[in-house]
Amino acid sequence: MITNVKKAEEIIIELLLVSQDRTTDILEIITNEKLQPKILKQMDASELLHKDKHSNSQLGAGILLRETCLYTSISQRLVSHNSGLICQDLVPSELYTGITEKKRGIGDLMASIKVATTRNIIECGYRENDKLTDIFGNRVTSHFEDTEALIPFKKYELTFNGHNQPGIYLLEYFNPQIVGS
């Protein structure tokens, strides 16, 4: 029986990693709670990108770097730790304004304004705690309690209708204990 439960938990995490659907919706189903963000950092990243010789210089100005943690609204369980780049010129203005207000998660905002996107998963899998990075590849510290477990992650980009390049780049780390906790 324990083997079957463990296998089911693994399947749920795998579905989360490969899904093209809104991650927020899946996490809310898994936790049976609404999610709320805690904004750890949000800053203009335009200059950072233009100094980085490996960056996409076509992104222009108005680029936000945002680091958040998502918690369940009632039990306050940590669900995910996220790093993202948001390109003002490549996302709907209502979405960008909502993000700058720092009150809601990106997924929640997208659902409320019913914005259509195409998602492209760049990479997904598991990382050791000491191998976690932000969207730029800089080392970050895990916010999860179990630092021995491999941490599931998904790195992807969102392209919005009317644009030919992504407007949001996200790297999400999921609490390895999210299922069954």
Report the CATH number at residue 151.
3.40.1410.10
pLDDT of residue 142: 84
Residue range(s) defining the domain that contains residue 155 = 2-174
pLDDT at 172: 96
Question: CA neighbours within 13 Å on the CB side: how many for 29?
Answer: 10
Query: pLDDT averaged over the chain?
Result: 86
pLDDT for 4: 64
Sheet-wide strand order for 78-87: 35-44, 63-72, 78-87, 168-174, 151-160, 117-127
Predicted confidence at residue 24, as pLDDT, reads 85
CB atoms within 10 A of CB 152: 22
pTM: 0.87
In a domain, 126, yes or no: yes
Tokens of 39: 């904004």
- Does some domain include residue 123? yes
Q: Amino acid identity, residue 156?
A: Y
Q: Is residue 180 part of a domain?
A: no
| Residue 53: per-residue pLDDT | 44
Task: Write the DSSP symbol of residue 165.
Answer: S
Instruction: Report the domain count for the chain.
Output: 1
H or E element at residue 47: helix 46-51
Q: What residues of the chain score a pLDDT lower than 50?
A: 53-54, 56-57
Q: How far from the centroid of its chain's Cα atoms is residue 123's Cα?
A: 13
Residue 181: inside a domain, yes or no? Answer: no
pLDDT at 61: 64
